[in-house]
Amino acid sequence: MMNYFFIRRRLFTLAMLLSLSALLPAGQAIAQNMQEPAPEGSVPVDPADPWENWNRKVYTFNETIDRWFLKPVAQAYRTFTPQIVDRGVTNFFNNLTELRNFTNSVLQLKGESAVVAVGRFTYNTTFGLGGLFDVATAFDLPERPEDFAQTLGYWGAGSGPYLMLPFLGPSTPRHFTGFVTDGFALPSAWDEVESPEVYYARALQIVDRRADLIPAESFISGDSYVFVRNAFLQRREFLINDGKVVNDPFASDDNEDLMLDDF
């Protein structure tokens, strides 16, 4: 048990160091881009995506893995799994995130959202057969997703530049730090799942989430990399601001109203 918590603490510390080290070169790149004119014929650097060259290579790598492995499995899952079962699996995993929602609501001093998270988990676990049915929404308690990246944003931490991670997909230094903190530092319902069952459950969760994204692919147009980047950044800003409409620095003329819940 002591080794387990030691490993979690080390991973959390590593995530913080990676995030801080990631911010420094980005800040220097942005500052240089603002102070010095770009060489003639060079490609302009997007302040929101100064690592675009690296990000596109990782995006291509992720697309290849997805095309040959993950997507075919997700398509088969979507084809042979009855809709009610598919919905139940999604609801079950969403219900496990209510502890995360509660913890981060408290950290953001959002008392109402914390009460909603407790209510949703209680209703769905008790009356929804362990979370297979989302009865809380029927009781006018829709989910209020909160994660540690949103907590960091709530207290004024900047997101940092866009960052495409191998296997994990779209991110930013703030989002990655929040992801690791939620997974390894803060309490999680996943802590109660024993090995090796936890690996089977995680694999099912990944396939289920990928299957749920298949219909959204029909909305992708133009440069898919730019489309996914804008969708992710818009969604994160939407969550950070609790759905309030703000000036969106990431929107383009083609998809400025895009909001994909699963990114």
CB-based contacts of 232: which residues, under 8 Å, 6+ apart? 162, 170, 263
What type of residue is 105? S
pLDDT tens for the chain, residues 1 to 263: 444 444 454 454 445 444 444 444 444 443 333 334 444 544 566 777 999 999 999 999 999 999 999 999 999 999 999 999 999 999 999 999 999 999 999 999 999 999 999 999 999 999 999 999 999 999 999 999 999 999 999 999 999 999 999 999 999 999 999 999 998 888 888 887 788 888 999 999 999 999 999 999 989 989 999 999 999 999 999 999 887 755 554 454 444 444 445 44
CA distance 56 to 214: 21
The pLDDT of residue 22 is 42
- pTM higher than 0.85: no
CA distance 146 to 111: 12
SS3 sequence, the chain?
A: CHHHHHHHHHHHHHHHHHHHHHHHHHHHHHHHHHHCCCCCCCCCCECCECCHHHHHHHHHHHHHHHHHHHHHHHHHHHHHCCHHHHHHHHHHHHHHCHHHHHHHHHHCCCHHHHHHHHHHHHHHHHHCCCCCCCHHHHCCCCCCCCCHHHHHHHCCCCCCCCEEECCCEEECHHHHHHHHHHHHHCCCHHHHCCCCHHHHHHHHHHHHHHHHHHHHHHHCCCCHHHHHHHHHHHHHHHHHCCCCCCCCCCCCCCCCCCCCCCC
Q: Are strands 163-165 and 169-171 parallel, antiparallel or unpaired?
A: antiparallel
CA distance 244 to 108: 16
Phi and psi torsions of 221, nearest 5°: -140, 160
The pLDDT of residue 50 is 94
The pLDDT of residue 245 is 56
Query: ∠190-193-194 over CA atoms, to 5°?
Result: 140
Phi and psi torsions of 69, nearest 5°: -125, -65
The pLDDT of residue 192 is 79
Taking the CB of residue 184, how many other CB atoms lie within 10 A of it? Answer: 18
The pLDDT of residue 194 is 80
The pLDDT of residue 246 is 57
The pLDDT of residue 40 is 53
Phi and psi torsions of 197, nearest 5°: -60, -30
The pLDDT of residue 119 is 96
CA distance 204 to 189: 16
CB-based contacts of 252: which residues, under 8 Å, 6+ apart? 226, 230
What type of residue is 54? W
The pLDDT of residue 230 is 94
